[in-house]
Structure 1
Amino acid sequence: MTDLSRPRVLFVVDAGPDVGGGHVMRALTLAGALADRGATCAFLAAPDVATVLDAFADSRMERVAAAATTPEALVTAAEAAAFDAVVFDHFRLQREHQAEIAGGRPALVVDDLADRPLHAGLLLDPGPARRAEDYAGLVGAETRLLLGPAHALVRPAFATAREAA
């Protein structure tokens, strides 16, 4: 456990030629907001994730090296990381991998598919038509759902532009 006055949040995200960099960009938006509020944010940085971080992450974002974005490589890398909570934005991780990485710590899953079981205390799906019923049987009864566009992870520059419009 780290200093709770500066909680450490581990981000487990996917990137690559087949999935793009959107997962990293969403996570960077949340990580920036958390860092602004005093959290320490670290990314499991497999090579494809590191490429996106190199281009867009600011100096506050720490990295924990991971050999690949495969579940096995991410579990191994997470075992070496010190963190208080975890954020997943990685569609190829199964519930058991998420649970193993979280290791009993609070877990947020960012999802927009509602197509597989997830390990989450908190689930964020910004899809405009998403309903709680879509996640029935996919998350635990205790999982808090944040559904709909009001919960979209929007970078500050875009939020400011919308307010000005």
Structure 2
Amino acid sequence: MPGTREGRDLRLLPRPTPPILSPTLSQDARPVTKPKILFRCDASVTIGTGHVMRCLTLADELSGRGAECVFVSAAGTEKLVPALPYPVLPPDKLPYGAALAVIDHYGLDAAYEALVRSQTSAVMAIDDLPNRRHHCDLLLDQTHGRVPEEYRGLVPVTCITLAGAGYALLRPQFASAREDSLARRDGELKRLLVTLGGTDPDDMTGRVLDSVAAAGLDLAVDVVMGAKAPHLDLVRARATAMANTRVLVGVSDMAGLMTQADLAIGAAGTTTWERCCLGLPTLMLVIADNQKDIARLVIQSGAALSATPDTITGQLRDLAADPKALQSLSHCAAALCDGRGAARIADALLRLPSLKELRS
């Protein structure tokens, strides 16, 4: 879920009719040499960067197979995701005639998908809760434990539904680091990773650091935040007052940080699957309503412990004294996700006639 990148659930916010429901569709007269794939997703301080980051992972996979990828995103998205390596168009300039449009947006409904479908060859929708209708050819829900039957009646009967953490959209670096990361899980608690979203508008990171400091353990602490996080300076001040604690901004090697960490404190968003792929035990916080389902399933699987700022101090002390508990969390996490979801999704997309030119 989108998500470091975790953010608040748009379903909880007022939903004015987006001005993008009637985009100006412009025809491109140039000969098409590659299948064009559009990604309709946004990033903001409110919703975080998770939607864009998981679309970016899929775009990289499809680009490597011969697709031409274009992002269609609201103003401000590029400021939060400055390294976006694809063209970015405003939402009212949706190109005409694409082979596929990927829509990852809680604020856009089946009516918008139908509009886009009338001007493109196929539509793929990404969602995290089976509680609304979609007009799409393929639907992805990467929630652990989700099954296609949960979307019956919510998608067209011809829709291909990909469900479960086996389809989690992770960058290739996580699958590459998986073996080394799993090999070092010895149950010792020496290094802690705190990552609660790229924006963290409610300063949950600051509250968590107060709880970590209160535990009184000899830990190295890495805190990951986005450059546009509104409370970044406050978090840096807290970290300065703590021993062996650093704040990292604009991290490019998250897989490396997770591999070196013995425990994470994180939200139940898109980074959940990154941690699971690397067998990283987690104290899991729910910071948005749409994360409750993911948190419940992951915690029930034994891959994480439910946490709040008030419980973290005691949980850290308990885990530091119980190496077997940390190892158990690691084993359960690694069983949920192997990091190869993007390739599986790309293989499924080859079943769409408009994408038959992609390399398998």
For 1:86, which of 101, 118, 131 is the aligned residue? Answer: 101
Count of aligned pairs between the two proteins: 152
Percent pairwise identity: 35
Partner of 1:150: 166
- The root-mean-square deviation of aligned C-alpha atoms, in Å, is 1.9
- The answer to whether the 8 Å contact 1:109/1:118 transfers is yes
Deviates more, 1:113-122 or 1:44-53: 44-53
Q: CA deviation at 1:5?
A: 4.8
- The answer to whether the 8 Å contact 1:24/1:52 transfers is no
Could you tell me how far apart the structure 1 residues matched to 2:178 and 2:32 are? 34
For 2:54, which of 2, 7, 26 is the aligned residue? Answer: 26
Instruction: Look up the equivalent residue of 2:88 and give its one-letter code.
Output: R
Partner of 1:125: 141
Could you tell me how far apart the structure 2 residues matched to 1:157 and 1:47 are? 29
Give the 3 Å change call, closer, same or farther, for CA 163–4 of structure 1 in structure 2.
farther
Partner of 2:35: 7
The structure with more strand, counted as a fraction of residues: 1
- The answer to whether the 8 Å contact 2:124/2:136 transfers is yes
Could you tell me how far apart the structure 2 residues matched to 1:89 and 1:37 are? 21
Q: CA deviation at 1:4?
A: 6.0
1:44-98 CA-partner distances (Å, limit 9, x unpaired) = 13213222342x322xx1121x2xxxxxxx3x321x4552210011111010111
- The answer to whether the 8 Å contact 1:11/1:88 transfers is yes
SS of 1:109's partner is: strand
Q: CA deviation at 1:6?
A: 1.0
SS of 1:47's partner is: coil
Partner of 1:17: 45
- Note the residue ranges of structure 1 that are not aligned, 5 or more in a row: 67-73
Structure 1 segments (4+ residues) deviating >4 Å: 1-5
Larger radius of gyration: 2
State the TM-score, normalized to the length of structure 2.
0.40
Could you tell me how far apart the structure 2 residues matched to 1:124 and 1:143 are? 10
Could you tell me how far apart the structure 1 residues matched to 2:169 and 2:64 are? 15
- Note the residue ranges of structure 2 that are not aligned, 5 or more in a row: 1-27, 182-360
Partner of 1:101: 116
